[in-house]
Structure 1
Amino acid sequence: MSGAETGPESAPEPDADASADERSESFTGSGLERVEDHRILTGEAEYIHDIAPEGCLHMALLRTTHPHAEIESIDTSAAEDHPDCELVLIGADLQEEYHPMPCGLPGFEEWSLAVDRVRFVGEPVAAVVATDRYVAEDVVDSIGVEYETLDPVVDPRDALDDETIIHEDVGTNVPDGEEFVFGDVDDAFADADRVIEREYSWGRISGVPLETGGVVAEYDTENDSFAIDCNIQLHTLVDDTVYETLGYPPERVSLDVPADVGGSFGTKIAIHRYCCLAAMASQQLDGTPVKFVEDRVENLQGGDMHSTQREYEVRLAVDDDGTIQGLDTWFVDDFGAWPHYPVNQALKPLSVLTDAYDISHVRYDYDLVLTNKTSQTAYRGFGVPPHLYAIEMIVDEAARELDLDPAELRRMNFVTPEQMPHEIPSHNIYDSGDYPAALDHLRDRVEEREAIDGGLLDPDTIEERREEGLYRGVSYTLHIEPGVSGSDWTDRQRSDRDALAERDREDVAELPEHLRAEITREGTVRAFLATDSSGQGHQTIVTQLLADELEVLPSAIEVEYLDSVAAPTEYGSAASRMAVMLSGAAQGLGATMKENLETLAAEEWGVDEDAVQYRDGVVERRDGDSILELADLAEVDATGGRGSDRLTRASYDYEHPAAVLSKFDEALAGKFPVYPTAAFAVNAPIVEVDTRTGEVEILKFYTLRDCGTQLNPVIVEGQAHGGIAQGIGAALMEEFGYDESGQPQAVTFFDYLSPSISDVPEIDMDHSETPSPFTATGAKGTGEGGMIDAPASIASSINRALEPLGVVVDRIPATPNRVHDWVRDEQSSSEPTTAESEDATGAETDGGERAGGARSSPDLRSGGDEQAEGLRTLEDE
């Protein structure tokens, strides 16, 4: 396997006491401890909950218990009479002075408080501001609301029928959908030896971070502006959801995010409702600060933080020798009551359309539907995890059909290293990697360690456990993690799609990464980030990078954050941009600062610039007569009369890699998802399934991960472990279920089951490094890994374990009750009917009793059973 095994135990530890002259190693690439950790572990970190300005009031929200209803009347008189109540707001009040919140699709008008109609349980109807949160909650209870209940739309497939319309002014529950066809899909399916069709379901999940959404807003009456402290993610990108709602220009609405946020994973992109309501309340109270922090029930029930729920129909065209000829996927994506930003997570899977497989003929089709559920937002992976899950499940079923080892079927269809960089049908490009070698490496590692006497995969042990109803298995799967999302494609669903074919490459506008720094009079470096962090280690990475670029010790660098007014618009940390974009920005900033300091020193000495050089954190004359240290240069600059144009201050904007590469011209011009790095992971979770109870235990999780150049192995390991833990939760236990009446079934942690330490097994993690040829440092990013790849891998290993019983994981999460039902259903159908016996003696059909236990599925798009029968006929031929 190319690349050395890397981990925190093998990384060089920088000597903080070493002088710059003695330092020979690079801090970048080392396991430098996170600079954030000291304040977090010692309790010095400040979160939104800790911010409480003098005289701060507290807000509480009245949330509806109805999934779908007309608001007949709202009586706030008792609330307004309460002696400790300072303000009551309802939707009609907002309409008088403010604006609707921006939506992800045109034609929708959503207010921060419901107006006329409620569309999901937990939707806020009124806001109360009082002296403290306890009083505010009591006052909320005194508000009376009369409703006329309406039929809810709960099943996304029912939403397609438009029998009950959730938004009458829009006129449909299917506000968006698009079909992409690449290559000759119909011919590929007509010519293939076999066509396999299946349905898969991905349950509604999310990140449920430790810290819920929160805001402290203060209106400045003198300057007619707002200062908003909040833990929103991507504060320089999504600040429009706040300032547009308030009806103010962006420079008068400052969003400031603390250096420490208790998790997000995308889920806090959509907390703008709280930011707006707190800001409105402060303005109505003449500048009194107003604070709101969700409690856990609010977060789980109606916090606008649920994520992807999809129903898939997948077809695979494959020849008898195992060659995959075509792939056809369609899904319906349940977005809940409103199409919030980002609706484009329905499109991101196009960036990994065929995962690691070399498939030329592909159809990708989706319908985005609205239901009476909490609105959907982003979550780690941004729509990719369910896509990879659906692909890997049908590949498993193809292997059963063909009686092939699933790992071998995968390997023979992988993109090869000779094809790199490789353009996939949807025009995104995989930058580097040797997928077959990576799979072989992990398989050899697992077999060496486990296929021995007493090992987890010892054949005798497996047979003994089966006699007890315990089935073990392992599957080897490889998954791509697309990284460094661009921004230009993300408004495709709001664009005139017919005009995209004529779009010119010059029309593309990408957002660069901004980084700035200054040298202080103490000789230290203050860097300023425009990208907010939610735990990824931004400050550590910038510290390492700038220490190397400016040839100083990490202890000489302090990293701070800019608010939304001081910072330019940025795409932020989404889709693993941080490592790639910040490393490029740090390189450019370091070079710019060194040039500035050489210019300043040359002016001070009255010599030409080529007579001086920057080296080891100082500027020296080449003739050796004298040097100027950083503190000296800062003093010279401060007293030199330059004002704000000091040479000890510099900034740099690093362009998105794809924006400067002609290889991506077609994707960029057509607004296809552009992700110029392809990190990848090979996984081999060893699972054991108790067929008596349906419980799945992961005995050990083997993984090989490649994110290009590792900027900090400690952070890489931490991100991977955390992502795998989230993937375990998604695969086996987490789900926001709703009953038929539209009532949420998971509003506490008794119902929404996040994994604990007891659910996360030993993780045997190996690394390889295939640097990206497209990025400044070769880094690819790894922030979404684990969650992207673990669910599909775990499901595939369950398939392998239960292959003797014919079970396939056709729904995520694979909860014990579902696994038990699958096993029971397959066992109860093991006795063939007369018709099935006849099928067994003749041509093989696509029925539920075929070897491997694959289940047939009607086409949800059109044709139903008639369409499915046509596919069975094609396969028989």
Structure 2
Amino acid sequence: MSRTTDTAPAPAPAPAPANLVGSAVPRREDPRLLTGRGRFVDDIQLPRMLHAQFVRASVASGQLTSLDLSAVREVPGVVAAFTADDLDLRVITAGLHRPPEEYVPTGMPVLARDRVRFVGEPIAIVIAEDPYAAEDGIEAAKAVYDVLPPVLNEDAALAPGAPLVHEEAPGNTLLDVSLFATEGIDRILADAPCTVRVESRTGRQNALPLETRGALAQWDAREEQLVVHTCTQIPHQVRTVMADCMGLDERAVRVVVPDMGGGFGIKCVVGREEIAVGAAALRLGRPVKWIEDRKDALTASFLAREQHCSLRAAFDADGHILALDGDVVCDMGAYSCYPFTVGIEPLMASSEMPGVYRVPAYRVRGRAITTNKAPTAPYRGVSRPQYVMAVERIFERAARELGLDPVEIRRRNVITEFPYTGVNNITYDPGSYLESLDLCEKSLRDEGWYARQAEAAEQGRHLGIGYSCFSERTGYGTAAFAQRKMKVVPGFDLAEVRMDTTGALTVTTGTISHGQSHETTMAQIAADELGLELHKVKLHQGDTERIAYGWGTFASRSIAIGGSAVRRAAGKLGERLRALTAGLLNVPYEDTVLDRGRVRLRDDPERGLTHVELAEVAYLRADLLPAGTEPGLTATASFDTLSDGTFSNATHGVVVELHEGTGQVEILRYICVEDCGVAINPTVVEGQCRGGIAQGIAGALYEQITYDAQGDPECTGFMEYRTPTAAEIPDITIHHLETPSLITETGAKGAGEGGTIGAPAAVLNAVNDALRPTGVELENTPIRPEQIQLALEQTAHEHKESAPA
């Protein structure tokens, strides 16, 4: 059987459109990835390479009284086994600049030493000649615990006298912040014609990237560097923390990210395992590889989403919201993730909950509690799927109380004048909130779904229609992250462009692609700016040696921040090319323009110099350079948003049918109307939307990590952790609106998370609409078939009882 190799010739480039930005050019990554020529961490094989796995805690809470690895070291093929004392690494501590009554920092040891806080916590690392021997080795470890009662949920954590997960955190509360409290809000709530309440809970989830976490570390004696290949969204932060934990100079650590099979947020925090793998490789002087298995990914990796949102809202008689009062409790598990801390979910919810609506009075309390479960990290959408669901339930409930159409009450409250500064002190840039709502409703009406719903009711079937409206804050810059009072403040990004002697361009950026098509979209931006053919541009990213610093990819920042830095850098290089042309041709700089691989005169298109001719002078014939011109063709630039960022927005509309006998929810129709500003590549944007919606549907109907009374995870594989397949995800229609960002260089806003944010609310609202005749209203996700079946059976029984004999 033949196999395509890495040296296979690339397909001939297709003719480029006149403007690459905004064009649905084919993804440049696909030929490599679809033919098996991608290179992921587990594809890398090195001479004398060893394999690692971790001995993990078998109890949710306890004192580790002894850990005997002597039998481990006797297992055939095992080379070494290390405890926390053996490696002696500093703890990982994420911090906020907040007073002790608001925030309690907690260190996360790379390997637990005395106390274990969740089942699956790593307590030792076993190194062997092959993965099977490593697995045999961890089974030979003998750990003895003084078992303590675990704290497994919000009620247990906050109960008076509850056991403490961390002794330094009284009441098991790591963060307790009230960001906003409008004066007089209690009076507004008391006097309002209509007051409604919602209690909403969301299940704990796993982000489920196709590629689990992994790392391969080796010591490079020539460079005096520990080189770590790992699948992370934040290579520079991994470098910083790894150097700190080991007491190394930061230049002595190099982090390289090869192809990555998804991340969705759980890889945008620093993991303990990659640090331990690096320390083991440094100690042994041999390459060490660790690949996380799916069981560990489901039980011991970073999790997300478990949130309890209590809302109360006041409306006037016409359906205008008067006040919103919220209490958000986030179960963040056993530790605070680096660099975002446990504040990532409650602070996000607190600061952005008003969303697309004009809320005149607002009060909110946000808390992060700690429990004996795997720690929480960001997951696509970060708190917004949860609080958007609660807010959208508020509007549904108010509409019912006031006898209004659920779309109309939203229409009366969405922001329509921009820029708009909300009660949360955030300024929203222009968006299409009302337009997306109107188009979504019109699409469902034009397709006849409202008529079909009425027909279904006559036939005894249960169809429901639901909506959700939301904004997605993207392009968080330094100023936005600083508002959270983080000790490590992300924001800016850097880019470098370099043209070689053939006129080809290399772009280096601090962002990371784990499925977002950066090799295509970043190239589109740079090629457009310089007047290049797309195939002449190559992107490099994910290597801490190639760029001074970068914050990686999360929070829909790559195109908004990283793409803006790329455009600026390309613009600077374009200026250099024009200046060099002007000097060589002895013409004014203003008379030159970039034009498809050359620089020509504005008024004389036949006269000019190609990029190859210019590069030859810049690199090979420096004697011809005009006076004062430096050799080479490189440029660097940074970009940061010093404002509140830029806001994408969307409306999702869903039609569901509930099936009697099984309680199953079938999604019959899904429409998304999205506005992410200028879509660099519409096909890529649609892919982001569809993938995000699939994950949102998963959270609404299927996925939840659960635990037994001892804190043992009950979802150790896909038999227990229910995930949707292609059969459960409907066809999705996406309509694009375009309100260019006034903040970014390209007019683009982020597009990575919106699908996930809107889906749970829209699905839940559609299910409740279908359940309306039963009088049952669901508030929590995931929605269970037995809940629906019970409601339908109860209604059927009541109808039977009331029917005439």
Structure 1 counterpart of 2:477, which letter? G
The answer as to whether partners of 2:194 and 2:402 remain within 8 angstroms in 1 is no
Structure-1 residue corresponding to 2:133: 135
**1:324-351 deviation line (CA, Å, top 9, x unaligned):** 1111110211010111133223212345
1:59 maps onto 2:52 in alignment: yes
Partner of 1:747: 716
Query: Could you tell me how far apart the structure 2 residues matched to 1:513 and 1:189 are?
Result: 44
CA separation of 1:382 and 1:227: change in aligned 2, threshold 3 A: same
The one-letter amino acid paired with 1:229 is H
Paired amino acid for 1:292: W
Measured after TM superposition, the shift of residue 488 of structure 1 is 4.4
Match of 2:429 in 1: 431
Letter of the 2:779 counterpart: D
Is contact 2:332–2:375 with CA below 8 Å preserved after alignment? yes
Determine the C-alpha separation between the residues in 1 that align with 2:791 and 2:326.
Answer: 24
Which SS does the other structure have where 2:712 is aligned?
A: coil
CA distance in 1, matches of 2:466, 2:591: 63
Alignment CA distance shift 1:490-1:741 (3 Å): farther
Structure 2 residue 717 is matched with structure 1 residue 765: no
| CA-CA distance at 1:94 after TM superposition | 2.6
Q: Report deviation, 1:603.
A: 4.5
Note the 1:602-621 alignment, pairs <5 A.
602-604=582-584, 609=589, 613-620=593-600
Amino acid at match of 2:175: D
AA aligned opposite 2:353 = L
1:311 matched residue in structure 2? 308
Structure 1 Cα separation of the partners of residues 356 and 94 of structure 2: 34
- 2:23 is aligned to 30
Q: Tell me if structure 2 keeps the 8 A contact 1:102–1:245.
A: no
Q: Distance in 1 between matches of 2:272 and 2:323?
A: 43
Letter in 1 for 2:252: R
Query: Alpha-carbon deviation of 1:74?
Result: 1.0
2:405 match: 405
Q: Distance in 1 between matches of 2:790 and 2:112?
A: 41
Which moved further from structure 2: 603-612 or 338-347?
Answer: 603-612
Q: Given the alignment of the two structures, is residue 594 of structure 1 paired with residue 594 of structure 2, yes or no? A: no
**1:191 equivalent in alignment to 2:191:** yes
User: For 1:733, which of 702, 706, 714 is the aligned residue?
Assistant: 702
5+ residue gaps, structure 2, are: 1-11, 97-103, 801-805
Superposition pairs of residues 623-634 of structure 1, within 5 angstroms = 627-634=608-615
Comparing 236-245 with 804-813, which one deviates more in the overlay? Answer: 236-245
Task: Compute the displacement of 1:737 (Å).
Answer: 1.1
CA distance in 1, matches of 2:91, 2:787: 42
What is the aligned counterpart of 1:321 among 318, 321, 328? 318
In the alignment, which residue of structure 2 is the partner of 1:462? 457
Q: Match for residue 201 of structure 1?
A: 201
| Structure 1 residue 639 corresponds to structure 2 residue 620 | yes
Residue 91 of structure 2 is aligned to residue 100 of structure 1: yes
Determine which of 337, 341, 355 is the counterpart of 1:340: 337
* 1:272 aligned onto 2:271: yes
1:774 is displaced (CA, Å) by 2.6
2:538 paired with 1:558: yes
CA distance in 2, matches of 1:494, 1:520: 43
Paired letter, 2:549 = T
Change (3 A) 1:753 1:233: same
Residues 445-844 of structure 1: pairs in structure 2 closer than 5 A: 445-451=443-449, 457-464=452-459, 466=460, 470-490=461-481, 511-604=491-584, 609=589, 613-620=593-600, 627-640=608-621, 646-656=631-641, 659=642, 664=643, 674=644, 676-821=645-790
Contact 1:725 1:760 in 2 (8 A): yes
Determine if contact 1:484/1:574 at 8 Å carries over to the other structure: no
Following superposition of structure 1 onto structure 2, how do residues 205-224 of structure 1 map, counting pairs within 5 Å?
205-221=205-221, 223-224=223-224
Could you tell me how far apart the structure 1 residues matched to 2:664 and 2:256 are? 45
Question: In 2 relative to 1, CA 451–296 (structure 1 residues): closer, same or farther, beyond 3 Å?
Answer: closer
Q: Aligned partners of 2:200, 2:237: CA distance in 1, in Å?
A: 34
Q: Distance in 1 between matches of 2:590 and 2:434?
A: 51
User: Secondary structure of 1:800's match?
Assistant: helix
CA distance in 2 between counterparts of 1:652 and 1:825 reads 64
**Deviation at residue 754 of structure 1 after TM alignment:** 1.7
* 1:41 corresponding residue in structure 2: 34
- Structure 1 residues 24 and 406 mapped into 2: Cα distance closer, same or farther (>3 Å)? closer
Percent identical pairs in the alignment equals 31
Distance of 2:672 and 2:762 partners within structure 1: 10
**C-alpha distance in 1 between matches for 2:537 and 2:347:** 40
Q: Which moved more, 1:769-778 or 1:392-401?
A: 769-778
Root mean square deviation, CA, Å: 2.6
Amino acid in structure 2 at the alignment position of 1:804: P
Change (3 A) 1:769 1:489: closer
- 1:337–1:373 CA contact under 8 A, matched in 2: yes
Contact 1:101-1:242 at 8 Å conserved across structures: no
> Does residue 81 of structure 1 match 2:66?
no
Q: Which amino acid aligns with 2:636?
A: S
Amino acid aligned to 2:658:
V
CA contact (8 A) 2:198 2:390 kept: no
What is the one-letter code of the residue matched to 1:328?
Answer: D
- One-letter identity of the residue aligned with 1:317: A
Deviation (angstroms), 1:487: 3.8
Superposed displacement of residue 309, structure 1:
0.5
Which has the higher mean CA deviation after the structures are superposed, 214-223 or 521-530?
214-223
Give the superposition deviation at 1:356: 1.7
Cα shift at 1:687: 0.5
Unaligned runs of 5+ in 1: 1-14, 497-507, 665-673, 832-877
| Partner AA of 1:175 in structure 2 | L
SS of equivalent residue, structure 1 residue 580: helix
* Most deviating of 508-517 and 434-443: 508-517
- Residue pair 2:453, 2:464 contacting (<8 A) in 1 also: no
Aligned residue in 2 for 1:155: 153
- Given that 2:268 and 2:553 are in contact with CA atoms closer than 8 Å, whether structure 1 keeps it comes out as no
Name whichever of 628-637 and 750-759 sits farther off: 628-637
Report if the CA contact (8 A) 1:231-1:257 is conserved: yes
SS in 2 for 1:744: coil
Give the number of aligned pairs: 773
Q: 1:451 to 1:387 in 2, by over 3 A?
A: closer
Give 1:346-361 correspondences, 5 Å limit: 346-361=346-361
Offset of residue 691 of structure 1: 4.6
Q: Could you tell me how far 1:592 is from its partner in structure 2?
A: 0.8
**Which letter maps to 2:27?**
R
